[in-house]
Amino acid sequence: MLGTDLFNPVSHQDGLNTLLNLLVECRLMGNKVIFIGNGGSAAICSHMAIDFLNAGKIRAIDFNSGPLITCLANDYGFENLFAKAIEIHGRKNDVIIAISSSGRSQDILRGVEAGKKLGCKVVTMSGFLENNPLSVMGDINMYISASKYGEVEVSHYFILHFLLDCLTEKIPAD
pLDDT by residue (tens digit) across 3-49? 444 456 678 888 899 999 999 999 999 999 999 999 999 999 999 99
Burial of 159 (0-12, 13-18, 19+ CB in 10 A): buried
Contact call for residues 127 and 64 (beta carbons, < 8 A): no
User: Which phi-psi region, left, alpha or beta, contains residue 51 (left: φ > 0; alpha: ψ -120 to 50)?
Assistant: alpha
The model's pTM: 0.94
Q: H helices of 33-132, where?
A: 39-54, 66-76, 81-89, 106-118
Q: Which residues contact 150 (CB under 8 A, 6 or more apart)?
A: none
Sign of CA dihedral 170, 172, 173, 174: negative
Q: CB of 123 within 8 A of CB of 140?
A: yes
Q: What is the mean pLDDT of the chain?
A: 93
Ranges in the chain, pLDDT < 70: 1-9, 173-174
